[in-house]
Amino acid sequence: MSFFKKLKETITKQTDSVTEKFKDGLTKTRDNFSNKVNDLVSRYRKVDEDFFEELEEILIGADVGFDTVMELVEELRREVKRKNIQDPREVQAVISEKLVDIYESAGETSTELNIQTDGLTVILFVGVNGVGKTTTIGKLAHKFKSEGKNVLLAAGDTFRAGAIEQLEVWGERVGVDVIKQGAGSDPAAVMYDAVQSAKSRNADILICDTAGRLQNKVNLMKELEKVKRVIEREVPSAPHEVLLVLDATTGQNAMIQAKTFKEATDVTGIVLTKLDGTAKGGIVLAIRNELEIPVKFVGLGEKMDDLQEFNAEQYVYGLFADIVEKEAAEEEEE
């Protein structure tokens, strides 16, 4: 059974609505990436060095990241040699398989959040301004509330004009209270109040917003450390998750942000927003492979339920949906 047939069977066992969200959300990347791979495969009669060089360019153009591309193409060379593949069309399935392998071999792959079953779960959101942090917090709060959980939000971004109000709008929209102080307040003091409120209300989950920009990087990271210390003092095992929000449309700039935040704080997972708005969705693989941090959620649209748990098979299916469907149908006929 080919990899595409296996992938199709794996996807079929999962929820149709999730499959459609990944397929629709990755349309721009698929149109960019898959079409170029298809064109490459149709132009070559054999798999040679020129073929691999063009493939490298396509992968780099999809923002897969230079180091990841070199690793992937080297793996492909070995696999092509081992299986004695001559027909370029057969390389498509190998590429898909290796993309899943690269994602799953880079350490911890679980997308599940570290939710406490017998007490308060504190989730800290970090990331620069403009990446969709507040919107993501709102959507995640909606997800938890629809699961029957008692959720509170903490307005810890007290520096950006309008940040507190923006979080309040989301709180009203999803029916969740927001713990806040005035603009310019000490974010650590807001977190202290929020934790006390969460405890007194027997909240299940406290989601904390943080500043995305201070005068400089050092100040921002010091502020995050201070916030974390206050949370940890009040809830010794917290924060249970530190989620870094990145904008997929910024490509390699998102990688730079991820490295900066990883150096300063214990990032446990990535939320990649606006994946539906970029033709360079390969950034998922670059982040995963080079930083070894799992991508826990991806934004695949504007709707409330378009924030989806990341799934490597669904992602690769989203990249190659047309080819997967075609190859799987052909195998069924044989």
- Would the annotation count 119 as a binding residue? no
- Would the annotation count 275 as a binding residue? yes
191: tokens are 């977190």
- The full DSSP string for 235-293 is STT--SEEEEEEEGGGTHHHHHHHHHHHHHS---EEEEE-GGG-S-TTHHHHHHHHH--
CA nearest to 69, candidates 31, 102, 38: 102
CA nearest to 119, candidates 236, 251, 253: 236
- Would the annotation count 274 as a binding residue? yes
- Would the annotation count 128 as a binding residue? yes
- Would the annotation count 138 as a binding residue? no
CA angle 316, 138, 309 (to 5 degrees): 20
- Would the annotation count 171 as a binding residue? no
How many CB atoms sit inside 10 A of residue 309's CB?
Answer: 14
Provide the 8-state DSSP code for 13: T
What is the spatial distance between Cα 178 and Cα 169, in angstroms, rounded to a whole number? 10
- Residue 71, C-beta contacts closer than 8 angstroms, at least 6 positions apart: 102, 289
- Would the annotation count 84 as a binding residue? no
95: tokens are 């590429």
- Would the annotation count 117 as a binding residue? no
- Would the annotation count 212 as a binding residue? yes
Cβ–Cβ < 8 Å for 230, 191: yes
- Would the annotation count 321 as a binding residue? no
Question: Where is the binding site, in residues?
Answer: 127-134, 209-213, 273-276
Question: Where is the binding site for GTP, in residues?
Answer: 127-134, 209-213, 273-276
